[in-house]
A and B are shown apart, each in its own frame.
Chain A
Amino acid sequence: MNTINRGFCDHQTTPERLLMDINNTDTQIFMVGRGGQGILVLARALSEIAFKKGRRLITSETHGMAMRGGTVTASLKIGKFASPLIPAGCADILIGLEQNDARDYLHMLKPGGITIVNTEDRNDFTYSVDASGIALNQGLKGSANMIMLGFVIRYINTDFYDACAVMESISPKRVLDKNIKALEIGFETASNEKYNQSH
C-alpha cells in the first residue's frame, strides 16, 4: 500500500488499533467519493457521534462545484487538533464511497491504516462493502453512504443506538426511516464473517 511518512503524526500502529476506539484514541478519518453520494452526511454523522462521546474534533468538507459529481473529500480529526486538514500519510481510516477515488487517495493513510470501501469487487482494501449494490437491491437508492456508516461504526467502538440517535437529530424527516434502515443493514453486514478480512 502506498503510504508516506511525513513526520508529523503518530505512526505506531499496533494490530489492536485496527479497531479504532474513537472514545479514547486520537483518530483521523479521511472520506472520499463522488459528489452526490452523501460524503458530507457521512462525515457529519461521524463527527456528531464522536462529539456525543465528549471528544474534541474538527472536520473539513468540500462544498460547491465539486458536489455536482466531482471528487468530494471530507476529513474528521478526533482529538485536540487545530487544523481541519489531514496531512498525507496520517489518516487512520480511509472511507471510500467509490473505489477509484479511494485508490487515488491511498497516500493519505498511515502505514497499517484501514480502508473501508464501497465496491462490488473483493480486492486489496481492508474491508470491501458493496453498499451501492445492497442499497439498490433493498430499495434504498441513494443510501449507500448510510450503509457504509453502519458498517464503519462496528469498528470504531460505537453503539448502534447512539448512531441512530445522531441520525434522528441530523436527518430530514422524510429520509429518516430510510437512513435508519440503511444504517442497520450496514451494521449487520459488518458482522457477516466474509467481510472480516484483513491484510
Chain B
Amino acid sequence: MEAKPVNTEFKNEKILLGNEAIAYAVLASGASVVTSYPGTPASEILTTVMKLVKEQDLPVHAEWSINEKTALEIAFTNSISNRRSAVAMKQVGLNVAADPFMSAAYMGVRGGLVIIVADDPGPHSSQTEQDSRFFAMFAKIPVLDPASPEEALTMTMAAFDFSEKYKTPVMVRPTTRVCHARQAVAVPGITPETRPALFEKEPHRWAATPGPRLKLHIELNKKIEAITQDPFAGVRLVDGKDKSSQAIVASGIAFSYLKDMMQNIPEWGNLSLYKIDMPYPLDPDFLDHIGRSHTNVLVVEESEPVIEYQFPCRSNVLGRIDATIPRAGELTPDIIAPIVDTFLGRGDSYPEIPATKQRRPSLCAGCSHRAAFYAIKKALPKGIYTSDIGCYTLGLNLGAVDTCLCMGAAISQAAGFFHAFKHEESPPPIVATIGDSTFFHAGIPPSVNAIVTGARFVLVILDNATTAMTGRQPTPGTGSVASDFNHDGLSLEQILEGCGIQSVITKDPYDIPGFIKIVKDAYDLSASQGVVAIIARHPCIQDRAMRGTQQAFTMSVSDDCNACGYCVKEFECPALVMGEDTVVIDPTICNGCGVCVHVCPRGAIEARQ
C-alpha cells in the first residue's frame, strides 16, 4: 500500500494527535458504530469520535462499552449487518477480547471492520509489552503498522476498503509514539454512512458448529494466501538500490526513526531501506527475495520479531531473535543508531546516555483512594491486599497494594488467597480494592464466583465516579456512555447485592476514623457472610467542577512536628515534603482536602477553613 503523499495545498490541515487522526479516519470512512473501552495509549480515539459525533450531529452510535470483549462483539455485529464499524482498545484489552477476535476471523465480515489495537512498548502505562501483530497472526487477521499520525489516518481509511475487499476484519496497530505524537494532518471530510442494515441469515457461518468451522478455517487460509499477493500488502523499497549489500527492513514507528537518521548520516546512503506497511500476512517469496538480494538484512520493528519470524530463511537476517536488537524495552533513535552503525561496520563510538531518575507517579494530592488505602492499612495491618488496574494501583506506594495481575483479578485473587490460607492456623485478613470502572469491566463474574464458592474477604470498591487514569471517561455507574442514549447510571449497591453479597456499606473515605471502623466491622462480618463489600465513594479530585464544591482547607504544620517522617512515608501525599526540621506542605500541590490531619501521630498538621 502506498501511503498517500502529503497534499500541501490541502487547506483543511490541523495538528492532530495520532489517536485523533484515527478518529477522523474512522468517521470519514463511514463507520456507523464505534466502540471502545478506555486504556492508554488508545483512549483518545473514542473521546475524539464522541466529540465529533456531537459537534457534527452524526448518525453514529459511539459507546464506551463495559469491556473490550463487548466492544468488539457489538462492532462485529454491526459489520455483519453490512455496515462499517470500528473498535479501539489498548493491547491488553485485546486479551479480554480474544474470544470474539479469534472467531471473527473465521466468520469474516460484510461491512468493513477495523480493530484498532494500540501497543505500548516500554511499557509506559501497561502490564506487558505484548505485540498485537502476533495476535493478528495468531487469529489470521491482516494488520497494518502506521509510522506516524498522518499514516495512521491514511492506513485506517484504507483498512476499511481492504476489510470489505477480503471480507475480513483488519487490525490497525499503532504504538504509543504514534498514538501520542502530534502532526499536521489533512483532515478528511466526514460523510455519514447511508447503507441500510442488512443481515443475511447464513447459520453455517454466523452460528457455525464445529463441522462448518473447519470449512471456514479453510476459507480463511485461502483469504490470507490471496492477501499476501495483494499489491496493498507490498513491501516498499523507499531508499537505496535493491543491489546494495546491506538492507534494513522496518515497519511502524521504527521506520520513522530510521528515516530521520538516514537524512543526517550520509554514509547510510549505501543502505537499502524497505518499509513494510502490513507486517502480517507477508509474501514469503518476497521476503526470500530480499534475503537473497543482500548480504545482510537487519529487521527493525516494535516490539517483537513478527516480520523477522516470517523470513523463510534467517541465516543472514539480524534483529531481535539473535538479540542484535534488545529483546525488551522500547526502541528509540538512541538505541537504534549504534546498532545500525555496527551493522554498517562504521564502528562509531556512541557515548552512553546517563540513566534518568524517573520520578515515580503517585496518587494526586487530595485523592480519596489515598484516604481509603491509609484506613485499610490502619484497620487490618496484617492483611493481604489484592488490587487492580487503575490509578489506585499506585496504592503500592503506601504499601496498601500487594498484587495487581489484570483487570478484575483483585476479586479472584482475594478468593484465591482465601482458599490458599483457609487451612492455616491464623489466616490473614484479605482486602480487595478495585475501581468502579474496573469493577464493571471484569469484577462482577469473580464477585459472583467468590460468593458461591464460600470465599471470605473484604471487597472495597474505590468509587470515584469515573475512569480516572485514562482521562476521566464515563462508566456504567455514571451513565452517559453512549453518544445517542441517556442513562443515569446503574447503582453499584444494587449490583453488589445482586451478586449475592449480603452487606454493602457505602462511606466517604475522607472520614478516616469512620472508614477504619467500617473496614474492621466488615472484616468481622465476613466471618459469617463471606464477602462483605464497602463502597468508598468520593469523586475524583481531577474533576474540577467537583473540586469547586469541595471544602478546601488551608493546611499548615505546627511546631509540634518532630520530622519523624511518618506522614511522608505512610500517607505518601505529594504535597507533604520532608523539610530540614519539619515536614512542609507544598502549597503549589496541596488541594486542601484536610485528610492528613488524621494521619500525624503528634497532631501537628492543622487545617483552617
Which A residues are within 8 Å of any B CB, using their own CB? 2, 4, 6-9, 34-36, 44, 47-48, 51, 56-71, 81-85, 87-88, 100-101, 104-105, 107, 132, 135-136, 141-142, 144, 174
Q: Evaluate contact between B358 and A70: CB separation under 8 angstroms.
A: yes
Given known pairs A65-B469, A88-B334, the reply for A7 and B148 (CB within 8 Å) is no
CB-nearest residue of chain A to B348 = A7
CB-nearest residue of chain A to B390 = A65
Total number of A-B contacts with CB less than 8 angstroms?
142
Q: Evaluate contact between B359 and A85: CB separation under 8 angstroms.
A: no
Q: Evaluate contact between A85 and B180: CB separation under 8 angstroms.
A: no
CB-nearest residue of chain A to B40 = A64
List, in ascending order, chain A residues with CB within 8 A of B337's CB: 6-8, 87
CB-nearest residue of chain B to A144 = B588
CB-nearest residue of chain B to A65 = B125
List, in ascending order, chain A residues with CB within 8 A of B43's CB: 63
Interface string of B229-270 (1 = CB under 8 A from A): 000000000000000000000000100110111001100000
Q: Evaluate contact between B124 and A66: CB separation under 8 angstroms.
A: yes
A36-B589, A70-B359, A83-B256 given. 5 additional CB < 8 A pairs? A58-B181, A64-B41, A69-B363, A83-B253, A84-B183
List, in ascending order, chain A residues with CB within 8 A of B320's CB: none
List, in ascending order, chain A residues with CB within 8 A of B180's CB: 60-63
Given known pairs A63-B41, A70-B360, A105-B356, the reply for A6 and B182 (CB within 8 Å) is no
Q: Evaluate contact between B124 and A36: CB separation under 8 angstroms.
A: no
CA distance A181 to B149 in the complex (A): 33
Q: Evaluate contact between A107 and B353: CB separation under 8 angstroms.
A: yes
* Among all A-B residue pairs, the 6 with the closest Cβ atoms: A64-B125, A70-B361, A64-B40, A84-B181, A8-B264, A59-B182
Q: Evaluate contact between B354 and A69: CB separation under 8 angstroms.
A: no
Q: Evaluate contact between B182 and A58: CB separation under 8 angstroms.
A: yes
List, in ascending order, chain B residues with CB within 8 A of A44's CB: 182
List, in ascending order, chain A residues with CB within 8 A of B124's CB: 62-66
- Least Cβ–Cβ distance between B122 and chain A, in angstroms: 10
Q: Evaluate contact between A83 and B260: CB separation under 8 angstroms.
A: yes
CA distance A67 to B542 in the complex (A): 11
Cβ of B140 within 8 Å of any chain A Cβ, yes or no, is no
CA distance A167 to B89 in the complex (A): 31
List, in ascending order, chain A residues with CB within 8 A of B159's CB: none
Q: Evaluate contact between B353 and A82: CB separation under 8 angstroms.
A: no
CB-nearest residue of chain B to A101 = B359
List, in ascending order, chain B residues with CB within 8 A of A4's CB: 351, 353
CA distance A66 to B356 in the complex (A): 14
Q: Evaluate contact between A135 and B359: CB separation under 8 angstroms.
A: no
Residue from B177, B184, B587 in contact with A84 in the complex, judged by beta carbons closer than 8 Å? B177
CA distance A7 to B340 in the complex (A): 13
- Least Cβ–Cβ distance between A158 and chain B, in angstroms: 16
Cβ of B461 within 8 Å of any chain A Cβ, yes or no, is no
Q: Evaluate contact between A136 and B264: CB separation under 8 angstroms.
A: no
Given known pairs A7-B265, A65-B469, A68-B394, the reply for A58 and B40 (CB within 8 Å) is no
- Least Cβ–Cβ distance between B149 and chain A, in angstroms: 8
List, in ascending order, chain B residues with CB within 8 A of A48's CB: 15
CB-nearest residue of chain A to B260 = A83
CB-nearest residue of chain B to A40 = B180
List, in ascending order, chain B residues with CB within 8 A of A141's CB: 587-588
List, in ascending order, chain A residues with CB within 8 A of B332's CB: 85, 87
Q: Evaluate contact between B184 and A83: CB separation under 8 angstroms.
A: no
Interface string of B323-356 (1 = CB under 8 A from A): 0000000001110010000000000101101101
Residue from B41, B148, B351, B391 in contact with A82 in the complex, judged by beta carbons closer than 8 Å? B148
Q: Evaluate contact between B358 and A132: CB separation under 8 angstroms.
A: no
List, in ascending order, chain A residues with CB within 8 A of B350's CB: 6-7
Residue from B15, B259, B333, B358 in contact with A85 in the complex, judged by beta carbons closer than 8 Å? B333
CA distance A6 to B353 in the complex (A): 10
Q: Evaluate contact between A83 and B264: CB separation under 8 angstroms.
A: no
CA distance A65 to B363 in the complex (A): 10
List, in ascending order, chain B residues with CB within 8 A of A132's CB: 588
Q: Evaluate contact between A82 and B364: CB separation under 8 angstroms.
A: no
List, in ascending order, chain A residues with CB within 8 A of B353's CB: 4, 88, 107
- Least Cβ–Cβ distance between A113 and chain B, in angstroms: 16
- Least Cβ–Cβ distance between A154 and chain B, in angstroms: 23
CA distance A81 to B182 in the complex (A): 12
Cβ of B449 within 8 Å of any chain A Cβ, yes or no, is no
List, in ascending order, chain B residues with CB within 8 A of A104's CB: 356-357
Q: Evaluate contact between B184 and A85: CB separation under 8 angstroms.
A: no
CA distance A141 to B333 in the complex (A): 37
CA distance A155 to B327 in the complex (A): 42
List, in ascending order, chain A residues with CB within 8 A of B147's CB: 82
List, in ascending order, chain B residues with CB within 8 A of A9's CB: 264
Residue from B17, B359, B393, B469 in contact with A34 in the complex, judged by beta carbons closer than 8 Å? B359
Q: Evaluate contact between A136 and B177: CB separation under 8 angstroms.
A: no
Residue from A63, A88, A144 in contact with B125 in the complex, judged by beta carbons closer than 8 Å? A63
Q: Evaluate contact between B333 and A8: CB separation under 8 angstroms.
A: yes
Q: Evaluate contact between B15 and A65: CB separation under 8 angstroms.
A: no
Q: Evaluate contact between B257 and A135: CB separation under 8 angstroms.
A: no
Residue from A35, A83, A105, A142 in contact with B361 in the complex, judged by beta carbons closer than 8 Å? A35
- Least Cβ–Cβ distance between A167 and chain B, in angstroms: 15
CA distance A59 to B393 in the complex (A): 29
Cβ of B70 within 8 Å of any chain A Cβ, yes or no, is no
- Least Cβ–Cβ distance between B185 and chain A, in angstroms: 11
Q: Evaluate contact between B391 and A63: CB separation under 8 angstroms.
A: no
Cβ of B362 within 8 Å of any chain A Cβ, yes or no, is yes
